[in-house]
Chain A
């Protein structure tokens, strides 16, 4: 194994130029060390990104929130910027693994790993976030996260390309993240859901509802959107919303044994979504 340890973006550029199809990247290590344990290190080339302090930040501009790829999940949990503009992302980060895992794992790693049950991806879908990358010869790309993730552990990253930043527009709206696992904490999602609902004068104008751990990759629920948009908040029918989400489960995993469990589980997420929308209207 060959380990490269760039401690600046200038050094990273040079490392990326030497990267091949087989080059692996490590930051927090909470996914990669498991992979190494299972598959061995072999003769792989590994680039350790953990020293890139230039990519550890949460900043806000007039219109956007920008999060450096090396920002840890613990930093997301305690960020005042996220509490103000993306509470569902803080909430999702807070429910990943244990304190030790959150202190090491990074937002860039969670997105780049593109695991079907990843907890940060549905909130980023609901926020319509952009993924900014850096590749060979300094080439930069900006890809909507909804296009970036293409399957379970599959995404649009090319050889020698890394995520530098995730960013999203600041918009007012009701936010909710809910997760169901086999226990209440330190658990991998069996089902998760993030929603971003914009309300004007008591009427729902937009509803971005994203599911995770329901098929190969996160996706936006058209059923939830159809059910919610145009409705008056006071008149949302919980049973109709639940039915729309259950239908989404049926459509996404029609033959899986877990479908029966997830049909029930999704109803509690519908409850959380609805409460977030009602509470937004009370503010």
Chain B
């Protein structure tokens, strides 16, 4: 079944199975393996991507549901070898341990900063409430998002 879509600014016209999930399309068909699958049922947020400006779980959608939409994955954050400010802040604040949740955390945080460049601590917590991390205890992740917002504001 034909799918025409745009992922990370690149247009695709592909023929894929109607029952393929979006995360499988991204990882297996497009080779965008930065997006992770954790629980596969919308609890952990490791598979978070941005569709038309909002964060969604790519494990909870069919690939065909992105027809005529603009999709951004973790791979889109780096531009010409330079990391996004959020990625820099995650490194600076030690917000990454095992790293499995990090792509999802970053995409949820990215969607938040796109909508609200100056979020409060509570707003950051709410934006990340669908992303589980079993290593960091969350404080450093929240610090990193705050740090990124401040750096972007000061730039």
Asked whether, in the complex, the Cβ of A185 is within 8 Å of the Cβ of B129, the reply is yes
Asked if A279 lies at the interface with its beta carbon under 8 angstroms from chain B, I say no
We find that the number of chain B residues with CB closer than 8 angstroms to chain A is 30
* One of B56-64, B90-98, B143-151 contacting the partner: B56-64
B67 partner, pick from A5, A33, A34, A46, beta carbons under 8 A: A5
Asked if A14 lies at the interface with its beta carbon under 8 angstroms from chain B, I say no
Smallest distance from the beta carbon of B122 to chain A beta carbons, Å?
A: 11
Asked if B42 lies at the interface with its beta carbon under 8 angstroms from chain A, I say yes
Asked if B40 lies at the interface with its beta carbon under 8 angstroms from chain A, I say yes
Asked if A254 lies at the interface with its beta carbon under 8 angstroms from chain B, I say no
Using known A-B contacts A37-B40, A74-B54, A103-B55, determine if residue A1 contacts B64 with beta carbons closer than 8 Å: no
Asked if A29 lies at the interface with its beta carbon under 8 angstroms from chain B, I say yes
Interface centre among A7, A30, A74 (most CB of B within 10 A): A30
We find that the number of chain A residues with CB closer than 8 angstroms to chain B is 28
Asked whether, in the complex, the Cβ of A99 is within 8 Å of the Cβ of B127, the reply is yes
Beta-carbon contacts under 8 Å, A47-79 to B: 48, 50-51, 74
Interface centre among A1, A28, A34, A100 (most CB of B within 10 A): A100
Asked if B68 lies at the interface with its beta carbon under 8 angstroms from chain A, I say yes
Which residues of chain B come closer than 8 Å to A74, judged between CB atoms? 54
Asked whether, in the complex, the Cβ of B54 is within 8 Å of the Cβ of A103, the reply is yes
Which residues of chain A come closer than 8 Å to B40, judged between CB atoms? 37
Asked if B120 lies at the interface with its beta carbon under 8 angstroms from chain A, I say no
How long is the Cα–Cα vector from A224 to B65 in the complex, in angstroms? Answer: 44
Using known A-B contacts A3-B64, A33-B61, determine if residue A99 contacts B42 with beta carbons closer than 8 Å: no
How long is the Cα–Cα vector from A36 to B126 in the complex, in angstroms? Answer: 28
Asked whether, in the complex, the Cβ of B67 is within 8 Å of the Cβ of A51, the reply is yes
Instruction: Give B94-134 as 1s and 0s: 1 = Cβ < 8 Å from A's Cβ atoms.
Output: 00000000000000100100000000000000111111000
Instruction: Give A12-46 as 1s and 0s: 1 = Cβ < 8 Å from B's Cβ atoms.
Output: 00000000000000101110011011000100001
Residues of A whose CB lies within 8 Å of any CB of B are 1-3, 5, 7, 26, 28-30, 33-34, 36-37, 41, 46, 48, 50-51, 74, 97-101, 103-104, 185-186
* Leading 7 A-B pairs by shortest Cβ distance: A98-B130, A3-B18, A103-B54, A41-B19, A100-B130, A1-B19, A100-B57
Residues of B whose CB lies within 8 Å of any CB of A are 1, 18-19, 21, 40-43, 45, 48, 54-57, 59-62, 64-65, 67-68, 108, 111, 126-131
Some 11 contacts from A to B, beta carbons below 8 A apart, are A7-B68, A29-B61, A29-B65, A33-B61, A51-B67, A51-B68, A74-B54, A97-B130, A98-B130, A100-B108, A104-B61
